[in-house]
Amino acid sequence: MPADIPDTSSTSNTPDSPEHCEHHAPIKHCKNCGAAVVYRIPDDGDAKQRAICPSCQTVHYDNPLIVVGTLPVWGEQVLLCKRNIEPRRGRWTLPAGFMELSETVMQGAARETVEESGAQFEMGNFFSMVNVAKVGQVHLFYLAQLQSDRFEPGLETLEARLFAEDEIPWDEMAFRTVAQTLKCFFADRRAGQFVTHIIDID
Residues 30-59 binding Zn ion (CB under 5 A) are 30, 32-33, 35, 53, 55-56, 58
* Cβ proximity of 139 and 96 under 8 Å: yes
Find the shortest distance in angstroms from Cβ 47 to Zn ion: 23
Mode of pairing for the β-strands spanning 157-163 and 121-132: unpaired
The span of 27-35, 63-71, 95-103, 160-168 binding Zn ion (CB under 5 A) equals 27-35
* Cβ proximity of 110 and 198 under 8 Å: no
Q: In terms of CB distance, is 56 or 85 closer to Zn ion?
A: 56
Find the shortest distance in angstroms from Cβ 55 to Zn ion: 5
Is 65 one of the binding residues for Zn ion (CB under 5 A)? Answer: no
Q: In terms of CB distance, is 39 or 170 closer to Zn ion?
A: 39
Q: In terms of CB distance, is 53 or 146 closer to Zn ion?
A: 53
In 20-156, where do the E strands start and end? 38-40, 50-52, 59-60, 65-74, 77-83, 92-93, 96-98, 121-132, 137-146
Count of residues near Zn ion by CB under 5 A: 8
Kindly provide the b/e burial profile for residues 44-75, where b requires at least 16 CB atoms within 10 angstroms of the residue's own CB.
eeeeeebbbbeeeeeeeeeeebebbbbbbbbe
* Cβ proximity of 144 and 71 under 8 Å: yes
Q: In terms of CB distance, is 33 or 198 closer to Zn ion?
A: 33
Find the shortest distance in angstroms from Cβ 36 to Zn ion: 9
Find the shortest distance in angstroms from Cβ 46 to Zn ion: 18
Q: In terms of CB distance, is 50 or 139 closer to Zn ion?
A: 50
Say how many residues make up the chain. 202
**Where do contacts with Zn ion occur on this chain (CB under 5 A)?**
30, 32-33, 35, 53, 55-56, 58
